[in-house]
Amino acid sequence: MNLDKLSEILKNEPKFRYAQINKALFQDYISVWSEASSLPKILREQLTAECPLEIKAQIFKTAGGRKSEKALITLTDGEIIETVLIRQRGEKTEKAETVEKSTGRNTICVSSQAGCPLGCAFCATGMNGFSRNLTAEEITEQVIFWARRLKAEGKGEKIDNIVFMGMGEPFLNYAEFIKAVKFLNNPETMNIGARRLSVSTVGLTEGIKRLAGEKIQINLAISLHAPNDSLRRELIPVAKKYPLREIFQAVDNYISRTGRRVMFEYLMIKGVNDSDKNALELAELIKNPLYMVNLIPYNATGKFKPSERERIDAFKKILEKENVPTTVRLSFGTEIAAACGQLRGKRKGYV
Ligand code: SAH
Ligand code: SF4
């Protein structure tokens, strides 16, 4: 979709066309202009010829049930990016077997860059190199893609959350990232509440500071993954530039300006960062009542192995004993390699 081209075409149209087109594109999620019945036929034909709505994508999904789906979207220059629709199961109700309509939640995970230049040792995206930043339009297009898919299913399902946890580091592409956030949040376009938007950063303090100054308050998550600087530097090369002390300072400033909770993500990697000692060290860092920890079961992508389930439980127990609010992320979609950059890396010979 080319929004600049669209504005150019609409230049000589009456003002109310914008509202009609916003509704058609971002609320009714049309995928061809012929569906925009409020527009005159001649305009629909011109838009079809000059401003096509097609999003080129290939979908990967697991068999049966309410599972995650992943799409590889091909951008106009041939770059390929990943986006995931995570269909979390809802609470089981007594009628669950008979009711088609799901009570689950739909979370969309979007990429902010094609690849990532930061090369974290555990991350498939980081291992596959960096091509370029995405534009705000390419970021929002990922959401529109899934919104169209949910609409086509006809079950009345909506997007509940959007997380910037796909390929890339959003704060290395701050301007386009925040432009996309504002577009998604705008009541005239996508109208997705700020509380339903989350960004994850590997700890770039400049970005944390800029986000603290924004009027729009989305959720912030920090990829910590290690409880001390020396282990962190082994896993995350850019940690050399951003010591934990500075990250926590930036987070505290963010909390004092926004009053929001901050999530610390911690990948559980077998024999690397998952010992009892690591848990105690982590608990030492997580002192603010507005901090919380999310333990993420690792998806094996290379030299590392995931921690066993029992180890994750034991690690969680230690944190909780130290009064650290801790959750364990559901291991969604491992079958479709639904973590950061894995599918794009594997796509030769996959499925
Ligand atoms: N660059 C940002 C945003 C990407 S988020 C960041 O790193 O926070 C991607 C999330 O997926 C991060 O929390 C990252 O640590 C996690 N991740 C990367 N590789 C993974 C893997 N193999 N298994 C599970 N999670 C992974
Ligand atoms: Fe980039 Fe995040 Fe992957 Fe590190 S974990 S390489 S910062 S996408």
**Digit-coded pLDDT (tens) for 266-308:** 999 999 999 999 999 999 999 999 999 999 989 887 789 999 9
State the sign of the Cα–Cα–Cα–Cα dihedral 180, 183, 189, 194. Answer: positive
Q: Give the mutation target among 68, 107, 118, 165 for probing the ligand 1 site: most ligand atoms within 8 A of CB.
A: 165
Give the tokens for residue 158.
């909506």
Phi, psi (deg, nearest 5) at residue 302? -170, -115
Give the Å distance between the CA of 123 and the centre of ligand 2. Answer: 6
Q: Report whether residue 126 contacts ligand 2, using a CB cutoff of 6 Å.
A: yes
Tell me, using a 6 A CB cutoff, whether residue 118 lines ligand 2.
yes
From the candidates 51, 116, 123, 340, which is the catalytic residue? 340
Given 82, 141, 169, 176, which residue is catalytic?
82
In this prediction, residue 94 carries a pLDDT of 40
For the entire predicted model, the pTM comes to 0.92
Distance 317 CA to ligand 1 centre (A): 23
Looking at the chain, how many residues does it have? Answer: 351
Express each pLDDT in 200-243 by its tens digit. 999 999 999 999 999 999 999 999 999 999 999 999 999 999 99
Q: How many helices (H) and strands (E) does the chain have?
A: 12, 12
- Identify the nearest ligand to the CA of 223 by its number: 1
